[in-house]
Structure 1
Amino acid sequence: MEGNLSYLLDRGSSEDTVVDYMSPTASSSAAYEYSFYPELDISCDFENIPAFASTFFPVLYSLLFMIGLVGNALVIWVLTVFKKVRAMTDVYLLNLAIADLLFVFSLPFLVQYSIVSQWTFGNAMCKIISSAYFIGFYSSAFFITIMSVDRYLAIVRSVYALRVRTTAHGVITSLVLWVVAILASTPDLIFFQEMNYHNQTKCIPHYPDSNNGWKTFSNFEVNALGWLIPVGVLIFCYYSILKNLQKCQTQKKYKAMKLVFIVVIVFFLFWTPVNIVLFLDSLRNMYIIDDCHTSQRLDLAMELAEALSFVHCCLNPIIYAFVGEKFKKHLWEAFRKYACFLLICKDYSAFSGRSLDKHSSLHTMSSQSSFVGTVL
């Protein structure tokens, strides 16, 4: 398997274009030894690509799998068992965790691929895993975007939000976003297949007639749906939210503003590099970039950028759930009940903590706390 966002970055492989670098989880540096770009009439020696990647990426992806699995599963557990998904925000948070889990589930296959250096799961699994990865990729970006819109409506358009921020609308919107994510991932289901290159079995896309246009289109699709549109919406929504937060006079104001900056900065930090590399890869497909040295650097950048993007699915539970005061209250309640069940505690109140939600004696302070609490 050509590896998570290596899918994105090597989507144009064909019989006429043999790019024989392996995924980030390749088991030896020998996988990088040689590449030939016949349409560019250049041959590249990849011996300089760091050998540490063959051991670093499997360890990194194993850790990310465990952290992402535990964090997102914990969010789903609390929302479905204890909080009961009663609000639109809960619906989006639940779907974001499911999307990140789809994203995370491709990691064990990449780790296994690093051991045997080729795809061993068959053609059907090649299509399933690549499709699941891309569905998780798109849906994660979509739900981060719609959660920003939800916060914008709750704070900036609070009167209008009373009519539209319902659980039913949240479910309908979520279904639409899943359908769009599946449709955007359809080319990967169609074109990804198990293929044999240089006596090695790989899971890579095979486009008809060696058409680089498909690969370029796929790259731009990821750039638009996975970065440009979400970033535009995030900037607009959170800029409007920050303007409204400045009117608040509570201590929670600065905590909420800090969270807003964290959301935007983290999205930029972890998704911008891979989209830049995708754009440069598109330039290579159009032969604007056609020298060997740049191609070498671009292939290495592909490996590093995709690894960075996977970290984001582990941070989402922290950014969107664990820092929220309401969610922390439900999380504490869940652990408290579970601990009491395991320890058969006699004094249930011994596990009780002070409520995280403090009520002000002044009505205006209470109103402002609720206002800021929408962000937290």
Structure 2
Amino acid sequence: MEGNLTYLLGRGDSEDLSVMVGYTSPTSSSSEAYEYAFLHPGLDISCDLENIPAFASTFFPVLYSLLFVTGLVGNVLVIWVLTVFKKVRAMTDVYLLNLAISDLLFVFSLPFLVQYCIKSQWTFGNAMCKIISSAYFIGFYSSVFFITIMSIDRYLAIVRSVYALQVRTTTHGVITSLVLWAVAILASVPDLIFFQETNDNNRTKCIADYPNSNNGWKTFSNFEVNVLGWLIPVGVLIFCYHSILKHLQKCHTQNKYKAMKLVFIVVIVFFLFWTPVNIVLFLDSLRNMYIIDDCQTSQRLDLAMELAEVLSFIHCCLNPVIYAFVGEKFKKHLREAFRKYVRFLLICKDYSAFDGCSPDRHSSLHAMSSQSSFVGTVL
């Protein structure tokens, strides 16, 4: 996903915008600017492509710190409830658990982003450069894949309910999840290969170092994200949720309008938070192919990438709310979990003189025995 989405470690100052995505503006240094101007005589070399707002160095560390805490708490809660209280018994639970794990991979890159914002250079070594960049991209791809497969799961459960009885099993969910993880890892292989710790202008950076600065790899990576991370998922989401809405219109259940509202929220949120990134990546591909060679346009594109990345990180914090906390059964298990542990802590405090204490086993078994059902009643 180089040349795209995350400038994961590319903050700190405007010169480092390309970090963690392998993107380097054709005019990001004086020598490159003159070389680019020579190849494109119409370019005004006085245009400064490094004019990113100064507030970014202060704004982004604070913002990403908040997103890290929010995303960590939300997704850990989902994993905690699913594994300890609700238990993973249905295909939907398998996908929801994997989505939370994907988002955590995505979120874990944020502390490194904050560090780069503050110190303006990579300080964790070459091995960590490859690990963190790969983890980020694997988290991105897998998160989008599991959102897509959950849409298919909902489509089967609502529109193809008879057929769903045969295929919506925990075993099929586990097998499908393993396949999606494999595809996400394969899609991230270029990041593992090309990302490395590099010394650039007396600064240590973690960037994608392509052979002979080949723009072909950058463009391929951008289009890979466009296709795997947006075009295919959007097509699946539109088909699935359009079919679901048509089916719900024929129903007369109490939760009909609540379910339809949630459908619109899922689709709108996905479009809102992922479309800007993919548009910017497509334009960046045009820039790599020198179709876009206007300096001011390129300057705006740099800033657009910064803002689009913010949206992509916010989405992984919203996933627990959209896909888990809106579910009545999930909220019930979450309330039971908190009540149980609050009661347990109070008992331990009041009877600390006794030989230890343990959770109420009967209450635990009762919580675990609750029927696992489709998240959010209908959706």
- Tell me which interval the TM-score lies in, with the shorter structure as reference length: 0.7 to 0.9
Q: Deviation at 1:250?
A: 2.4
Q: Which residue of 287, 294, 306 maps to 1:284?
A: 287
* Structure 1 residue 251, shift from structure 2 partner: 2.6
Classify the secondary structure of the residue corresponding to 2:17. coil
Identical columns (%): 84
CA apart distance, 1:344: 2.0
1:101 aligns with one of 104, 107, 119 = 104
Q: 2:261 matched to which residue of 1?
A: 258
Report if aligned partners of 1:9, 1:302 keep a CA contact under 8 Å in 2: no
Partner of 2:354: none
Name the CA distance, whole Å, in 1 between partners of 2:19 and 2:258. 38
Q: CA deviation at 1:339?
A: 1.3
Amino acid at match of 2:247: N
> Quick one: which amino acid aligns to residue 74 of structure 2?
G
Q: Is the 8 A contact 1:151 1:374 kept in 2?
A: no
- Partner Cα distance (2:18, 2:340) in 1: 44
Select the residue among 22, 47, 51 that pairs with 2:17: 22
Aligned partners of 1:24 and 1:303 also within 8 Å? no
The answer to which of 112-121 and 184-193 deviates more is: 112-121
Stretches of structure 2 lacking an aligned partner (at least 5 in a row): 21-26, 351-359, 364-372
- Indicate conservation of the 8 Å contact 1:135/1:181, yes or no: yes
1:312 maps to which residue? Answer: 315
Q: Provide the C-alpha distance between the structure 2 equivalents of 1:161 and 1:328, rounded to a whole number of angstroms.
A: 25
Q: Distance in 2 between matches of 1:246 and 1:9?
A: 47
Mark the CA change 1:8 to 1:115 in structure 2 (over 3 Å): closer, same or farther: closer
Q: Is the 8 A contact 1:4 1:130 kept in 2?
A: no
Correspondence for 2:173: 170
Q: 2:92 aligns with which of 89, 92, 100?
A: 89
How is 1:53-64 mapped onto 2 (pairs within 5 angstroms)?
53-64=56-67
Alignment partners' CA distance in 1, 2:19 and 2:269: 23
Q: Deviation string for 1:297-321 (max 9, x for gaps)?
A: 1111111111111000000000000
Q: CA RMSD in A?
A: 2.7
Shift of 1:8: 8.8
For residue 362 of structure 1, what is the aligned residue in structure 2?
Answer: none
| Corresponding residue number in structure 1 for 2:370 | none
Distance in 1 between the 2:9 and 2:120 partners? 19
Amino acid in the other structure paired with 2:5: L
Q: Where does residue 120 of structure 2 map in the other structure?
A: 117
Runs of 5+ consecutive residues of structure 1 not aligned to the other structure: 11-18, 26-31, 352-369
**Residue deviations 1:308-338 (CA, integer Å, cap 9, x gap):** 1100000000000000111111111111111
Q: 2:92 touches 2:375 (CA, 8 Å); kept in 1? A: no
Deviations 1:158-194 (A, max 9, x none): 1110000000000000000000000000000000011
User: How many angstroms apart in 2 are the aligned matches of 1:371 and 1:170?
Assistant: 13
SS in 2 for 1:5: coil
1:24 Cα deviation (Å)?
9.4
Select the structure with the greater relative contact order (CA < 8 A; seq sep ≥ 6): 2
Deviation digits for residues 65-93 of structure 1, max 9, x if unmatched? 00000000000000000011000000000
**Structure 1 residues 286 and 125: CA distance shift in structure 2, 3 A:** same
Q: Tell me if structure 2 keeps the 8 A contact 1:274–1:305.
A: yes
Does 2:137 correspond to 1:134? yes
TM, length-normalised to structure 2: 0.84
Length-normalised TM-score, structure 1: 0.85
After TM superposition, list the pairs within 5 Å mapping 1:1-376 onto structure 2.
5-7=5-7, 20-22=15-17, 36-37=32-33, 38-39=35-36, 41=38, 43=45, 44-46=47-49, 48-344=51-347, 374-376=377-379
CA distance in 2, matches of 1:325, 1:123: 46
Q: Distance in 1 between the 2:132 and 2:346 partners? A: 41
Cα distance between partner residues in 2 of 1:170 and 1:342: 36
Distance 1:375 1:300 in 2: 40
Query: CA 1:40–1:276 in 2, change beyond 3 Å: closer, same or farther?
Result: farther
Change (3 A) 1:207 1:139: same
Is the Cα contact below 8 Å between 1:3 and 1:24 reproduced in 2? no
Query: CA separation of 1:284/1:224 partners in 2, compared to 1, >3 Å: closer, same or farther?
Result: same
Question: Quick one: distance in 2 between partners of 1:48 and 1:372?
Answer: 46
Q: Distance in 2 between matches of 1:373 and 1:72?
A: 17
8 Å contact from structure 2 (residues 106, 316) kept in 1: yes
The 1:24–1:300 alpha-carbon spacing in structure 2 relative to 1, beyond 3 Å, is farther
Q: Secondary structure at the match of 2:198?
A: strand
Distance 1:108 1:189 in 2: 20
Partner AA of 1:124 in structure 2: A
Q: Does the CA-based 8 Å contact 1:270-1:309 persist in structure 2?
A: yes
Please tell me the residue identity of whatever aligns with 1:200: R
Q: Secondary structure at the match of 1:344?
A: helix
Distance 1:180 1:47 in 2: 36
Deviations 1:176-216 (A, max 9, x none): 00000000000000000111111111111011122111100
- Matched position secondary structure for 2:207: strand
> Structure 2: which amino acid aligns with 1:59?
V
Structure 1 counterpart of 2:208, one-letter code: P
Query: How many aligned positions are there?
Result: 341
Q: How far off is 1:39 after superposition?
A: 4.3
